A = this chain, B = another copy of it.
């Protein structure tokens, strides 16, 4: 039916790929990712998602520093106690933390850091931020699937974006814009593979939850 990767094949094999090569990604492919993201739906079809593709070494370094602070705050208390989160086996948790730390150490060397932003009609505050999710995350998912289909690794993270003032300065955002997600993109060092998820019987009901 198609010479593209199949839609279900992409979804079922779209692991978070955090270990990425320094090899540059052609600009044409980066634009293709953003164009795919831009096809996603938005509330009232307002199309207010905005995308910044950071390749400049100085801006990447600023984002990497912000991410380091976020990762240390998040992972720090759990790093020697990876079994403390209830939803993962200790071994799986340990592997995830290791890859988050790899990403933190190497973020400034990753070829492209894509920032998913929203443009609002008013100055951004905490209440605005809370409203935006449904108009930005569908596009992020399109971007991740498109990256998978093009052989690029990617993994969304929000840990480096908590300091809104610092992010605004690093990316020169107007006061009506806010950054929601950072997606490092590059050629993967590891192998693509299937995701593992809970069985559908655990996460689905008919008619009512209970």
Q: Please list the residues of chain A having a beta carbon within 8 angstroms of any beta carbon in chain B.
A: 1-12, 14, 16, 31, 34-36, 38-41, 43-56, 59, 85, 87-88, 96, 117, 129-130, 132-134, 136-138, 140-142, 144-146, 148-149, 155-156, 158, 170-174, 177, 180-181, 195, 197-198, 200, 203-210
Copies in the complex: 2
A59: nearest residue on chain B (CB-CB)?
A: B207
Main secondary structure of the interface of A (DSSP, over half): mixed
What would be 18 A-B contacts, judged by CB atoms less than 8 Å apart? Answer: A2-B6, A7-B149, A14-B39, A34-B204, A38-B197, A38-B204, A44-B85, A48-B87, A51-B203, A52-B204, A52-B206, A52-B209, A55-B207, A56-B208, A133-B133, A133-B137, A145-B145, A174-B210
Q: In the complex, A39 Cα to B133 Cα: how many Å? A: 19
Whether the Cβ atoms of A203 and B172 lie closer than 8 Å is no
CB neighbours (8 Å) of A117 from chain B are 209
Q: Note all chain B residues with C-beta closer than 8 A to A204.
A: 31, 34, 38, 50-53
By a CB distance below 8 angstroms, the chain B residues around A87 are 44-48
**16 new A-B pairs (CB below 8 Å) besides A2-B2, A134-B156?**
A1-B6, A5-B7, A6-B6, A38-B200, A40-B141, A44-B87, A50-B203, A51-B205, A54-B208, A56-B206, A117-B209, A133-B136, A138-B141, A138-B144, A172-B208, A172-B210
